[in-house]
Amino acid sequence: MDMPDPRAAVLSKKANLVERLQAVLPADAVIHEAQEVLAYECDALTAYRCPPLAAVLPSSTEEVAAVLRICHEEGVPVVPRGSGTSLAGGALPTADSVILGVARLTEVLETDYDNRFIRVQAGRTNLSVTGAVEADDFFYAPDPSSQLACAIAGNIGMNSGGAHCLKYGVTTNNLLGVTAVMMDGTVVEIGGAHLDAGGLDLLGLICGSEGQLALVTEATLRILRKPEGARPVLMGYNSSEVAGRVVSEIIKAGILPVAIEFMDRPCIRATEDFAGAGYPDCEALLIVEVEGSDAEIDAQLGVILQIARKHDPVAIRESESAEESARIWLGRKSAFGAMGQINDYMCLDGTIPVDKLPEVLRRTAEMAAGYGLEVANVFHAGDGNMHPLILFDANAPGELEKCEALGADILRLCVEVGGCLTGEHGVGVEKRDLMSDQFAPEDMEAQMRVKDVFDSAWLLNPAKVFPLAVSAARRAA
């Protein structure tokens, strides 16, 4: 993976730039010593690291605007950073860039239950948004698995999803408005507490733009009343085809579960060794969760179980208590930890049409065998969002490269069967060079024109999303 060479003209004016930033921010909000900027050298895609020129931690929209105005004038690239949990390298700096971290923007600004929204500063963590309203029985629906740490700003940047998207949608479906700062320091308000922003859908455009269009400092988010209850059921099958058919039949029956999770045998075995949730040893395990009152849950699970039993399950486990529900989720929730215990792993997130699941699993296994690597699959089955985990040894020479090559093959397969490279993690640097496999040059050109409008000098997170060769002329201009 390549990054553009740092601009010598920027590197040479570091002292002057730091001085200008210090003039608009408190002393402790400008981090520039070589040892200190190391904390910002990577995000959760730790295979790639590069210390930035400096990092700034503004505490208000005005401070963000002041920083961006200076960087715009000086021609310095800016890399926005939420909590640094991106698995795609969305917050990876270059040596000539300033990291703009939103970690100090954490306040709740307004909570309104009558109108069902919360307005927060964008550095607030995902889970603490729900935390601010759960005592009143409300919640914020998108729940990426990093929700304890990840920031709303990053969620908006990557249009994050989570396990409950099938029913509640992803970030863009739950975002009502933003306060954002353009690269030249202009502050804009888009949308608000009302539904559907007026004019062209700039809110939809900014959400998922990976910090390349504007820097979001505040967000108005839709909150929902908590359902009366939720309950999962677990079922095991001896083939992924059959499990896929069960998912499809549940959906066709008119039931909209809040989550349908899938795990394959390698993943089941690893989590059993790690967490001992008592999962059946089988080819394909499904966890289906529905919501409502007890009676409503019983009725929905009745339909689901009827479908499940028709397909010769290896095991079915129903829950009769909160403890049993927690045990059903235990293995799934510890899947990533279990993999980490075995080895280093790379987590992909291509999405496929759900009916292609058996084919994709079979061909993934064949490709992995060709590379001599193991892949475990955990999967949001309802919406087709795969999470193949490629196990490898980062200390063995050549293994990372082999793992990346397999990952690229798997993602190309996702595109080939009608899916996409990334369902919720974002392109970042990780999938940047695969964009040409999904998009024709004119498709990428149309997207880059949007960036031209928002950030004509290509200073905001410039080396992400588009293959470097494709964006080269614009970045050099």
Q: Which of residues 294-313 bind other proteins (CB under 8 A)?
A: 295-296, 299-300
> CB neighbours (10 Å) of residue 401?
10
Stretch of 58-66, 154-162, 235-243, 258-266 contacting other proteins, by CB under 8 A: 154-162
Closer to other proteins by CB, 269 or 311: give it.
311
Which positions ≥6 away from 262 have C-beta within 8 Å?
A: 240, 243, 247, 284, 285, 286, 357, 377, 378, 379, 380, 381
Q: Which stretch binds other proteins (CB under 8 A): 13-21, 44-52, 245-253, 324-332?
A: 245-253
Long-range contacts, 368-372 (Cβ 8 Å, 24+): 368/406, 371/402, 371/403, 371/405, 371/406, 372/402
Query: Residue 432's closest CA among 442, 440, 422, 424?
Result: 422
Structure tokens at 86: 């991106």
Q: Is 354 a binder of other proteins (CB under 8 A)?
A: yes
Mark the segment that binds other proteins (CB under 8 A) among 28-36, 156-164, 257-265, 327-335: 156-164
Query: Applying CB under 8 A, which of residues 117, 262, 279, 379 lies at the interface with other proteins?
Result: 117
Site residues for other proteins, window 369-388 (CB under 8 A)?
Answer: 380, 383-385
The pair of three-digit structure tokens given for residue 397, joined into one six-digit string: 């020479």
Task: Choose, by CB under 8 A, the member of 228, 273, 281, 393 that binds other proteins.
Answer: 228
Applying CB under 8 A, the span of 63-71, 127-135, 165-173, 396-404 interacting with other proteins comes to: 165-173
Applying CB under 8 A, the span of 124-132, 262-270, 396-404, 450-458 interacting with other proteins comes to: 450-458
Structure tokens at 52: 């930035």
Q: State the binding string over 394-423 for other proteins (x if CB under 8 A, else -).
A: ------------------------xxxxxx
d(C-alpha 450, C-alpha 36), whole Å: 35
> For other proteins, which is the closer residue by CB, 69 or 317?
69
Q: Which is nearer to other proteins, 254 or 398 (CB)?
A: 254
Residues 171-200 that bind other proteins (CB under 8 A): 172-173, 182, 186, 188-190, 192-200
* Calpha distance 279→284 (Å, rounded): 11
**Judged by CB under 8 A, does residue 453 bind other proteins?**
yes
Give the angle subtended at the CA of 8 by the CAs of 6 and 12, to the nearest 5°: 120
Question: In this structure, what token pair is assigned to residue 35?
Answer: 């040892």
Contact between 89 and other proteins per CB under 8 A: no
Place of tokens 């009769």: 320
CA dist 231 and 320 (Å) reads 9
268 binds other proteins (CB under 8 A): no
115 lies in the site for other proteins, by CB under 8 A: yes
